[in-house]
Amino acid sequence: MPTMSHLCLRRLLSVVASAMVLSAHALPPPANTPPDMAQRLQACTLCHGKEGRATPGGFFPRIAGKPADYLYHQLLNFRDGRRNNDGMRYLLDHLSDDYLRAAALYFSGLDLPYPPPLPPQADAATLARGEALVRQGDAARELPACMACHGAAMTGTLPAVPGLLGLPRDYLIGQLGAWQTGLRKAFAPDCMAHVANKLSPTDIGAVAGWLAAQPLPADTHPAPVPVKPLPLRCGAAPSPLESKR
């Protein structure tokens, strides 16, 4: 049986390993960060809400407090056409990688309270189906649980997996549909396209309905970098083991 000192050592090594992985993936600071980023980024708040915190209803997601790597890569995806949104592409078309990195770091650093969720917009059976898919997935369809990638608390994981709570139901349905139709893409292998294409319309409504009705935990920050590999190979968020290859 391992002694307490051995257990402490194992815990220390685990923490160090996580820190090394995070350091390897952490978004580097831009070369020159404008000193007035809050003022420069006010255009973002016209859609994403005051300080980027959004609201639980509507179609525009919260951007405040999401992992910087995730925000940065979504800005790149919009600018470079991997995500189809004419308004976003127009805003970002002439912005440099450094500027987008500064914007991502700014919004990721905002630590703001979330509004309470809206009442459930589905019946009990549908919500139960959604919860089962989020927590357990469906092994028979090779469908991993949402929690396996987005964290046990569904607040995301560092460095680049976003949280799924605090998002509007319509937004969640729209994004899963976009993955299915190819309107939304990510770097290959596109793990979310794989997941979305295994979901039926009923599944999508159930998952979105359950997620949108959940309150946020006391700690809304993304979870630390996972030590275990993700259940699927994912080009936008390589697992710790893949990052060492």
Residue 244 has pLDDT above 50, yes or no: no
**121-173 confidence digits (pLDDT tens):** 899 999 999 999 999 999 999 999 999 999 999 999 999 999 999 998 999 99
Per-residue confidence at 8, pLDDT binned at 50, 70, 90? very low
Q: Note the pLDDT tens digit of each residue in 219-231.
A: 999 999 988 888 9
pLDDT at 6: 40
Q: Which domains does the chain have, with CATH numbers?
A: 35-238 (1.10.760.10)
Upstream peptide bond of 217 is cis (omega within 30 degrees of 0) = no
Q: Tell me the C-alpha to C-alpha distance, in Å, between residue 38 and each of 34, 46, 51, 95, 192.
A: 10, 13, 8, 16, 32
pLDDT band, very low/low/confident/very high, at 74 (cuts 50, 70, 90): very high
Where is average pLDDT lowest: 8-22, 60-74, 197-211?
8-22
pLDDT: is 115 or 236 the higher one? 115
pLDDT at 84: 86
- Residue 186 has what pLDDT? 83
pLDDT of residue 21: 36
Average of per-residue pLDDT values in the chain: 84
Per cent of the chain over pLDDT 70 is: 82
DSSP string computed for the chain: ---HHHHHHHHHHHHHHHHHHHHHHSPPPPSS--TTHHHHTHHHHHHH-GGG---SSSSPPP-TTS-HHHHHHHHHHHHHTSB--HHHHHHHTT--HHHHHHHHHHHHT---PPPPPPPP-S-HHHHHHHHHHHHH-BGGGTB--THHHH-TTSSEETTTEEP-TT--HHHHHHHHHHHHHTSB--SSS-HHHHHHTT--HHHHHHHHHHHHTPPPPS--SPBPPPSSPPSS--TTS--TTGGG-
Q: Find all residues with CB under 8 Å of 123, minimum gap 6, and list them.
A: none
Whether 30 shows a pLDDT value over 80: the answer reads: no
Considering only CA atoms, which of 191, 117, 189 is closest in space to residue 150?
191
In the predicted model, what is the mean pLDDT of residues 43-54? 89
Sequence letter at residue 135:
R
Band of pLDDT at residue 15, cut at 50, 70 and 90: very low
Q: How confident is the model at residue 245 (pLDDT cuts 50, 70, 90)?
A: very low
> Average pLDDT for residues 199-205, to the nearest whole number?
97
Q: If pLDDT is split at 50, 70 and 90, which confidence band does 37 have?
A: confident
